[in-house]
Amino acid sequence: MMLKNKKQKCIMWISILSVILCMTVPCFFYTISIAQSTRSSDEQMIARAINGEARGESYEGQVAVGAIILNRVNSADFPNTVAGVIYQPGAFTAVTDGQINVPIDAGSSVLKAARDAINGWDPTGGCLYYWNPATATSKWIWSKQIVKAIGKHNFGK
Amino acid sequence: MGRFREKLMDWKKRLSDRHMYSVVIVLIAVVAAWGIFQYKRAADLRQELDNQYNRAFYEMIGYVQNVEVLLTKSMICSTNEMAAETLQEAWHQANLAQTNLGQLPVTQDVLANTSKFLCQVGDFALSLDRQNINGKGIDDEQYRTLEKLQEFSVSLEEGLNNLQASISEGRIKWNELANKGTQMFRKQSENLPGQMFSDINNSFQEFPTLIYDGPFSDHMGSMQPRGLTGNDMGVEEAQQKLKEFFGADKVTSVEHTGEIQTDTLPAYTFRITFNDRPEEEFAAADVTKKGAHVIWMLNNRDIGQETLDVDKAKEAGMKFLESRGYSNMKDTYYVKEDSTATINYAFEQEGVVVYPDLIKVKIALDTGEVVGFESKGFIMNHTQRQIPEPALTEEQAIARAGTRADINSVGMALIPTKFGTEIFCYELKGKLKDKDFLAYINAATGKEEQVLIIINTENGILTL
């Protein structure tokens, strides 16, 4: 194909550039999210999970989500580490959709809530499950006994 | 409409221009290249994920096989030492199997019983292992439990092998299990492998409740609270109690927000607002129905400039506890974070620190106000105990701790075990190579029950 005039050359270059952009831009995003998620202790991990799951909830509701994670660590039905519980496939939507990687501000209330949960505060009375009755899709979750409702979430055993 | 048609005609005319064709072809090529690239990337990622699932699954099968073999061996072993060694390995392998189980993309309700089984096998093996180390062999009842566990591990292994056959023949793919996006995939995963995992689980449902001293045994879940004294209370009485708890002059309102329905500690839940704070800085609290004990309280108010040190905070916490009817409490450990200090207080009886009777008080370091309170340990365990005479003298206990460390102080303590029981111990505080530690020597038998390392940082004293 002969390129006869300037206009055609211009279009050609723009197309080539756009191909390169399409291929490289996603790479940037991938590397960023991985870099941010590498260094995290239990406290950070729990805080991030709370941030993804219960950002809009009251402080009590945030501590409750942290307590659920720790109750699961202590339960025989679930993995035995914080990372094992949080990253269990399909366990938390915040992990499935990647919100777990959103960084937390140092003075954020989710971090305080994570610390209170680690220090032993458990607003749920020992629950292992919680769900949002408005959006819960799985049927079996309703077979759980509701122990308490905090904000938008039901907590159960 | 006419204008639109005109434009369309114009576009067509321009397209028919030969140069324009090449432009369109280039555009299509760009989109196609991008699409292929993205598709390949997604396929790579999916493959990587599948590989992870497969690794977890195959590793788990290997560990379950090992558990089964080790349980069988432990029944054959004739010496306590050999049995202890085998059981410890069984515990280790059961733990690894459970870790891998948690990584499979199968819903939790389907996996729960298998996980519990592996956990119980591990706990049971470990408790037998300890018993064997102490020179006590396996008794008949334990042998029968061991036999049953071994039978179940064989059937788990069979179930897993069937599933493995389906997976390696390619009849089931992990992404079908993992993908919950579309109805079709979900149905497929419900019919096929999910079903198979359910079958595995069903055989465990009839599994008898294990009676053994393990942390996860069912009797722990249904343990009756020993410190839950008093009569059944109504909502008003609980509200009144909370007002006194916070100070009647400070509280604006105590709103009843709901209830906690559990077998062990049924409770009312409340939201409390304060005179000196804006309405959005409220506190939440649970109060037991029986006796109106405050289980926990959290007040997430903004905390101003720090003015108190930890010693002042400890005093404030002690004063708070005494005025609320918790006497003879002794502060033990603390953490300082976010301008608050969370201090652990344990009950003290006749000079013996009773660690299970635990209350945590969180103190704001600006005014010394109590902004958090947690007394589940106290409610579950507190009772007046019969403290026995120690069989060992202090000197004997120190001698038990070994000669390499310096012992700085000696006290008496009751410590909780994982099994819900308590042990009467000498508590030795010592130092080894500038590491502070606590050693607990059983006051009746002289056995070393527990060693804790004290971590002393500027943010608190914690134990490991």
CATH number at residue B330: 3.10.450
Looking at the structure, do residues A101 and A125 belong to the same domain, yes or no?
yes
Question: Token pair 């069988």 is at which residue?
Answer: B72
B285 plus B318 within the same structural domain: no
Q: Do A79 and B102 touch (CB under 8 A)?
A: yes
Which residue matches tokens 């690239």?
A: B37
pTM: 0.75
Q: Of the given ranges (A148-157, B55-64, B397-406), which has the lowest mean pLDDT?
A: B397-406
Specify the residue for token string 């690894």: B96
- The total domain count for chain B is 4
In terms of domains, do A31 and A46 share one? no
pLDDT at B371: 94
Residue B284: list chain A partners with CB under 8 A: 58-60, 123
Helix, strand, coil distribution of chain B in percent, nearest 5: 50, 25, 30
User: What are the pLDDT digits (tens) for B42-83?
Assistant: 988 888 888 888 888 888 888 988 998 898 888 888 788 888
The reply to whether B458 and B339 lie within a common domain is no
DSSP string, B410-450: EEEEEEE-TTS-EEEEEEEEEEETTEEEEEEEETTT--EEE
Residues B371 and B446 in one domain: no
In chain A, residues with a C-beta closer than 8 Å to the C-beta of B380 are none
The residue segments making up the domain with residue B277 are 231-240+251-301
Tell me what pLDDT residue B425 has: 92
Of the candidates A76, A79, A140, the beta carbon closest to that of B216 is on A76
Q: B142-163: string of b/e by CB count within 10 Å (b at 16+)?
A: eeebbeebbebbeebbebbeeb
CB contact under 8 A, A138 and B108: no
Which of B46, B296, B339, B370 best tests the A interface by mutation, with the highest count of A CBs <10 A?
B296
Tell me which of B17, B22, B23, B26 to substitute to probe the interface with A (most A C-beta atoms closer than 10 Å): B26
Interface test with A, best of B118, B179, B260 (most A CBs within 10 A): B260
- Has residue B455 got a pLDDT over 50? yes
Structural domain includes residue A124: yes
Could you give phi then psi for residue B439, rounded to 5 degrees? -120, 135
Q: Is residue B389 part of a domain?
A: no
User: Which chain B residues are closer than 8 Å to A89 by Cβ?
Assistant: 103-106, 178
Q: Do A71 and A88 share a domain, yes or no?
A: yes
Distance CA B163, CA B171 (A): 10
Domain shared by B89 and B44, yes or no? yes
Mind spelling out the 3-state secondary structure of A91-129?
Answer: CCHHHHCCHHHCCCCCCCHHHHHHHHHHCCCCCCCCCCE
Q: Which two tokens stand for residue B383?
A: 């009772």
Picking from B359, B381, B403, the residue at the C-terminal end of a domain is B381
Q: Do B30 and A19 touch (CB under 8 A)?
A: yes
Specify the amino acid at residue B305: Q
Question: What pLDDT was estimated at residue B408?
Answer: 86
Alpha-carbon gap: A1 to the closest alpha carbon of chain B (Å): 8
Residue of A nearest to B216 (CA): A76
- Are B19 and A8 within 8 A, CB to CB? yes
B22 to chain A: nearest residue by CA? A1
Distance from CA of B140 to the nearest CA of A (A): 26
Specify burial of residue B336 (Cβ count, 10 A radius: 0-12, 13-18, 19+).
Answer: buried
Q: Establish if B341 belongs to a structural domain.
A: yes
Q: If you ran DSSP here, which 8-state letter would residue B360 be given?
A: E
Least confident segment among B199-208, B239-248, B269-278, B290-299:
B199-208
Same structural domain, A77 and A147: yes
Q: How confident is the model at residue B298 (pLDDT cuts 50, 70, 90)?
A: very high
Show the tokens assigned to B212.
């053994």
User: Is B441 within 8 Å of B401 (Cβ atoms)?
Assistant: yes
* Chain A hits for B46, Cβ within 8 Å: none
Residue contact A121–B296, C-beta within 8 A: yes
Which chain A residues have a beta carbon less than 8 Å from that of B262?
125-126, 147, 157
Is residue B192 domain-shared with residue B308, that is, in the same domain?
A: no
User: Which residue shows structure tokens 């994670």?
Assistant: A69
B423 and B322: one domain?
A: no
Residue at B447 is within a domain: yes
CA distances from B273 to B126, B282, B289, B323 (A): 49, 5, 21, 21
Mean pLDDT over A45-71 rounds to 92
Fill in the amino acid letter for B207: F
- Is residue A2 in some structural domain? no
Residue A83 neighbours by CB under 8 Å, 6+ apart: A42, A45
CA-to-CA distance for B234 and B131, rounded, in angstroms?
48
Q: Are residues B294 and B351 in the same domain?
A: no
Counted domains in chain A: 2
**For residue B175, what pLDDT is reported?**
63
Alpha helices in B247-332 (DSSP H): 310-323
Which of the listed residues B351, B381, B411 is the one where a domain comes to its end? Answer: B381
Is residue A91 located within the same domain as residue A30?
no
- For range B434-448, the mean pLDDT: 86
Mean pLDDT, rounded, of chain A: 79
Which residues of chain A neighbour B95 with C-beta distances below 8 Å? 80
**H or E, element range at B228:** none
Same domain, A16 and A93: no
- Same domain membership, residue A107 and residue A32: no
Residues A49 and A69 in one domain: yes
Same domain, residue pair B138 and B69: yes
Select the residue of B105, B115, B262 nearest A76 (Cβ to Cβ): B115
- Residue A24 shares a structural domain with residue A68: no
A143, closest residue in chain B (CA to CA): B109
Closest among A22, A150, A9, A125 to B271, alpha carbons compared: A150
Identity of the residue numbered B29: A
Residues of A within 8 A of B111 (CB-CB) are: 77
Residues of chain B neighbouring A1 (CB-CB closer than 8 A): 22
Mean pLDDT of B336-357: 90
> pLDDT: is B173 or B39 the higher one?
B39
Burial class (CB in 10 A: 0-12, 13-18, 19+), B58: middle
Report the alpha-carbon distance of residue A126 to residue A123 in Å, rounded: 8
Scan for tokens 């400890």, then name that residue: B314
Using an 8 Å CB-CB cutoff, list chain B residues near A18: 30
How far apart, in whole angstroms, are the C-alpha atoms of residue A31 and residue B65? 39
Q: Which residues of A fall within a CB distance of 8 Å from B99?
A: 79-81, 84
Contact yes or no for A123 and B376 at CB 8 A: no
Q: Give which of A104, A132, A130, A117 is closest to A48, Cα–Cα.
A: A104
Contacts (Cβ under 8 Å, ≥6 apart) of A68: A124, A127, A128, A129, A130, A155
Inter-CA distances, B462 with B306, B342, B343, B378, Å: 22, 11, 11, 20
Same domain, B205 and B312: no
* pLDDT tens-digit readout, B80-104: 888 888 888 998 999 899 888 888 8
Same domain, residue pair A79 and A26 = no
Report whether B143 contacts B124 (CB < 8 A).
Answer: no
User: Are the beta carbons of A89 and B30 separated by less than 8 Å?
Assistant: no
Rg of chain B (C-alpha set): 31
Who wins on pLDDT, B134 or B441?
B441
B312 assigned to some structural domain = yes
- Mean pLDDT, residues B140-152: 82
Mean pLDDT of chain B: 81
Cα–Cα dist A63/A42, whole Å: 15
Q: Does B57 lie in the same domain as B173? A: yes
Q: Which positions ≥6 away from B58 have C-beta within 8 Å?
A: B164
DSSP three-state, residue B142 = helix
Q: Do A84 and B102 touch (CB under 8 A)?
A: yes
Token couple for B364: 């704001």
Yes or no, beta carbons of A59 and B300 under 8 Å apart: yes
CA distance B303 to B317: 17
pLDDT band for position B242 (50/70/90)? very high
State residue A4's pLDDT score. Answer: 60
**A20 shares a domain with A68:** no
- Beta carbons of B335 and A119 less than 8 Å apart: yes
Q: Is the pLDDT higher at B290 or at B204?
A: B290
Domain assignment present for A90: yes
Q: Do B372 and A116 touch (CB under 8 A)?
A: yes
Q: Are B53 and B60 in contact (CB under 8 A)?
A: no
- B17 inside domain: no
- Contact criterion met (CB below 8 Å) for A92 and B107: no
Residues of A in contact with B107 (CB under 8 A): 90, 138, 140
CA distance A151 to chain B (A): 10
d(CA B138, CA B125): 11
Is B11 inside a domain boundary? no
* B317 & B279 share domain: no
Could you write out the DSSP letters of every residue in B149-189?
A: HHHHHHHHHHHHHHHHHHHHTTSS-HHHHH--SSHHHHHHH
Residue B171 phi, psi (nearest 5): -75, -25
Give me the sign of the Cα torsion angle B443, B445, B451, B452: negative
- The answer to whether residues A74 and A135 belong to one domain is yes
Range of the domain at A29: 7-37
CA-based nearest distance B19→chain A, Å: 8
CB contact under 8 Å between B33 and A19, yes or no, is: yes
Q: Are residues B360 and B215 in the same domain?
A: no
The mean pLDDT of A59-79, rounded to a whole number, is: 89
How far does the CA of residue B116 sit from the closest CA of chain A (Å)?
Answer: 5
ipTM associated with this complex: 0.74
Q: Answer yes or no: are the C-beta atoms of B120 and A76 closer than 8 Å.
A: yes
Using a CB-CB distance cutoff of 8 angstroms, which residues of chain B are in contact with residue A145? 261
